[in-house]
């Protein structure tokens, strides 16, 4: 700037507007303290600005909304990643966290279930509401350590466990729920009693997907689960079977759109703000710099007086 040039410091130009407070401040410092004193003061001021701006940027870093994913019975966390890989690819602005159920199917521990089978067989339902608490605890740890979460997603037994976990956690833990090929835990009446008591889980938006070619979990069973939620969005694929929809399924785009905007026109602005949370850069940087310069200018004036 002109002040630096007048003091024979052409290699230390500063891009300040000549009518701005920064220019006036720098000119004042040069006239009073010379180039060396001005450099020291400016260095201290820049350090203050860097520290201040670092704190601001840290709170505004872009973070993807997280979706907690529950695998099917006899599956694994890594296996679930493969099961919904098309969905993950179709939602690049979201982070998918894959949970592992707490109960190994066999000693090899290569497959897990969220709820073990009733000890007396499926014809003798359990009545203990805490029968699957180890899986609840496993999810609690993930939510505590990796939250907050935007949504919870489940497939097959993982879908059945979605309302179970919603009945055992705080109402604001998730903003949406997504289930593929889901059903109610009718062979575990104690758990189901708690689910029915807590339904409809704070009216959480819920996408219920089912395939008409699913011969493992019938559409009747999936619709029964949908009924315990308030106004669920039910998507039925004519070609779908017992698997989440891939990119070739006619309903795939509908699922993607729903995740991005579950409340549609009813509250689109709120949904968009959730998905884009943290993308905007803070607008207070220049204001903070001017404020720091003003404070420094005042201090220098007092020292000289």
Convert the pLDDT of each residue in 153-199 to its tens digit: 999 999 999 999 999 998 899 999 999 999 999 999 999 999 999 99
Torsion of CA 140, 143, 208, 265, to 10 degrees: 140
Q: How confident is the model at residue 276 (pLDDT cuts 50, 70, 90)?
A: very low
As a whole number of angstroms, the distance between CA 225 and CA 265 comes to 25
Burial of 133 (0-12, 13-18, 19+ CB in 10 A): middle
Q: What is the pLDDT of residue 263?
A: 81
As a whole number of angstroms, the distance between CA 204 and CA 149 comes to 13
Q: What is the pLDDT of residue 106?
A: 79
Query: Residue 232: pLDDT above 50?
Result: yes
Both structure tokens of 262: 């579950």
Higher pLDDT, 204 or 286: 204
Max mean pLDDT range (24-38, 103-117, 265-279): 103-117
Burial of 143 (0-12, 13-18, 19+ CB in 10 A): buried
Q: What is the pLDDT of residue 299?
A: 54
Peptide bond between residue 200 and the one before it cis (omega within 30 degrees of 0)? yes
Cβ–Cβ < 8 Å for 190, 131: yes
44 Cα distance to chain centroid:
38
Nearest one of 180, 262, 38, 155 to 254, comparing CA atoms: 262
Torsion of CA 151, 111, 191, 237, to 10 degrees: 50
Mean pLDDT score, 77-83: 97
Q: What is the pLDDT of residue 34?
A: 63
> DSSP assignment, residue 23?
H
Nearest one of 175, 164, 166 to 113, comparing CA atoms: 164
């Amino acid at each position: 700037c002109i002040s630096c040039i007048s003091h024979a410091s052409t290699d230390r130009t500063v891009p300040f507007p000549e009518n701005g407070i920064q220019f006036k401040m720098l000119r004042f410092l040069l006239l009073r303290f010379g180039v060396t004193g001005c450099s020291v003061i400016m260095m201290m001021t820049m350090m203050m600005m860097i520290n201040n701006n670092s704190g601001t940027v840290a709170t505004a870093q872009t973070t993807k909304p997280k979706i907690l994913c529950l695998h099917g019975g006899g599956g694994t966390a890594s296996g679930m990643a493969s099961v919904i890989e098309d969905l993950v690819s179709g939602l690049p602005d979201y982070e998918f966290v894959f949970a592992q159920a707490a109960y190994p199917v066999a000693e090899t521990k290569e497959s897990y279930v969220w709820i073990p089978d009733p000890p007396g067989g499926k014809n003798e339902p359990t009545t203990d509401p805490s029968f699957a608490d180890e899986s609840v605890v496993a999810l609690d740890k993930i939510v505590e350590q990796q939250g907050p979460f935007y949504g919870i997603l489940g497939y097959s037994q993982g879908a059945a466990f979605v309302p179970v976990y919603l009945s055992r956690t705080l109402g604001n833990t998730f903003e949406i729920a997504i289930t593929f090929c889901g059903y109610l835990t009718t062979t575990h009446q104690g758990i189901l009693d708690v689910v029915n008591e807590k339904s409809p889980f704070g009216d959480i938006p819920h996408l219920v997907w089912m395939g008409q070619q699913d011969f493992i979990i019938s559409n009747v069973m999936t619709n029964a689960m949908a009924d315990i939620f308030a106004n669920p969005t039910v998507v039925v694929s004519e070609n779908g079977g017992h698997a989440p929809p891939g990119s070739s399924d006619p309903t795939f785009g509908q699922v993607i759109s729903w995740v991005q905007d579950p409340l549609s026109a009813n509250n689109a602005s709120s949904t968009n703000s959730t998905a884009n949370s943290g993308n905007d850069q803070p607008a207070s940087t220049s204001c903070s710099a001017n404020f720091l310069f003003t404070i420094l200018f005042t201090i220098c004036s007092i020292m000289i007086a």
